[in-house]
Amino acid sequence: MHATHLECSECDYRAALDHLATLCPECHGPLVVRYDLAAVRASVDRDALSSREATMWRYREVLPLPDPQGAVTLGEGGTPLLPTCRLAHELGLERLSIKDEGQNPTGSFKARGMSAAVSMAKHLGARAIAAPSAGNAGGAMAAYGARAGLAVHVAMPQDVPIVNRIEAEVCGAEVTLIDGNIADCGKWIAERAEERGWFQLSTLKEPYRVEGKKTMGYELAEQLGWSLPDVILYPTGGGTGLVGMAKAFDELRELGWIAPDAKQPRFVAVQARGCAPIVNAFHAGDLKATPIEKPFTCASGLRVPGAVGDRWMLRVLRGSEGTAVAVSDDQLMEATRRIGRTEGIFAAPEAGALVAALETLIADEWVQPDEHVVLFCTGAGMKYIECF
Ligand SMILES: *Cc1c(COP(=O)(O)O)cnc(C)c1O
């Protein structure tokens, strides 16, 4: 067990790891797990990791669960990093890879976050868990909650993709459909959580989902022979994967698993025009984002009008010399078909958004033809049948 304590991402607050933690009680910022990385460095041989199980739990020393035997797992992580050939050629890039997170249990990378968060919730004594979800988080929470034997409550907007609602129900969750967006669903859950004894697993309102998602960064580095790409495009909703990967790369440098001077990849946050709070804030030079009143996009993972981790995300984007791009729903749907046509991956529309954004970045010469670009295909297209 190498996790040492929790720390606020925004102020000096620190806390022990012995309770079901939520936001910083002092400034309401997200809490972050810190580790004794020197101890990990001394006890783990990086090159021996490859003989471990091909799930995210192979990085157990940098995950918060004290006893990995207690992990609530469905085999999440270990997804392929696929080199593209035809898509790269069409776009004029020498090296374009897709990390296919649609191959995770429950068909999206939400599995990683929920595996970590549900494991910790169970370990710390939660009996019932709840969260709002615009789509995949609800299905993943239901699946991992069932696996852990916890009661699960999900609040979803009425226009949630039908597969997400069905998978949550099939996995035994109680689902409430709300006439509103994910922010309204979040309010609905928060108003009832205390009275009903639900521990809230909402994005970044507890510190462990981001630990699960950071394993995408560990895995990417390992798959690249312990090096990093030049540019990472990430479809951004609540932003856990973005901040999680930045955290992973910082930890990897400190661990000495990648070169101490390995350059941070330039992170690109991609959003839909109908819901682009982070893109707006980034280009306005703001330190935090203004919530969107009426968010719309068929890419439900991007339908997050206001994120708890907005400041953290904006720091990551700026600190990496990255950028933020918004694309229209027409563009992202067309690009989703293009991924299918050129690479045989039936991807979630969130991944299509990345290809549409990448075209713009190439046209603007923000991305050079010889740079290695990685797209995070965060979900499977099969979960979005009504979009196609
Ligand atoms: C949730 C989700 C996103 C956004 O992820 P965040 O880490 O919350 O920004 C992107 N794509 C898909 C398919 C999702 O389910």
Could you tell me the two tokens for 18? Answer: 């012995």
The four Cα atoms 374, 376, 377, 383 give a dihedral, to 10 degrees, of: 180
Q: What is the mean pLDDT of residues 288-316?
A: 94
299 pLDDT above the threshold of 90: yes
Whole-number Cα distances in Å, 36 to 20, 41, 56, 61, 287: 21, 9, 19, 10, 30
The structure tokens 């046209």 sit at 363
User: How many angstroms from the chain centroid is the CA of residue 207?
Assistant: 13
Overall fold of domain 81-108+208-387? Rossmann fold (3.40.50)
CATH topology classification for 110-200:
Rossmann fold (3.40.50)
Asked whether 239 and 306 are in contact (CB, 8 A), the reply is no
What is the rounded distance in angstroms from the CA atom of residue 99 to the CA atom of residue 221? 12
Q: How many angstroms separate the alpha carbon of residue 331 from the centre of ligand 1?
A: 18
Query: For residue range 10-25, what is the model confidence (pLDDT) as tens digits?
Result: 999 999 999 999 999 9
Mean pLDDT of the chain: 96
Is the pLDDT confidence value at 241 over 90? Answer: yes
What stretch of H or E contains 271?
Answer: strand 266-272
Atom from ligand 1 closest to the CA of residue 244? 7
Counting from 1 in the atom list of ligand 1, the atom nearest the Cα of 203 is 8
CA–CA dist 352, 373 (Å, integer): 15
Predicted pLDDT of residue 316: 98
Q: Which of 141, 163, 185, 378 to mutate to test the pocket of ligand 1 (most atoms within 8 A of CB)?
A: 378
Q: Boundaries of CATH 3.40.50.1100 in the chain? A: 81-108+208-387, 110-200
pLDDT in tens, 46-80: 999 999 999 999 999 999 999 999 999 999 999 99
Atom 2 (ligand 1) nearest CA: 301
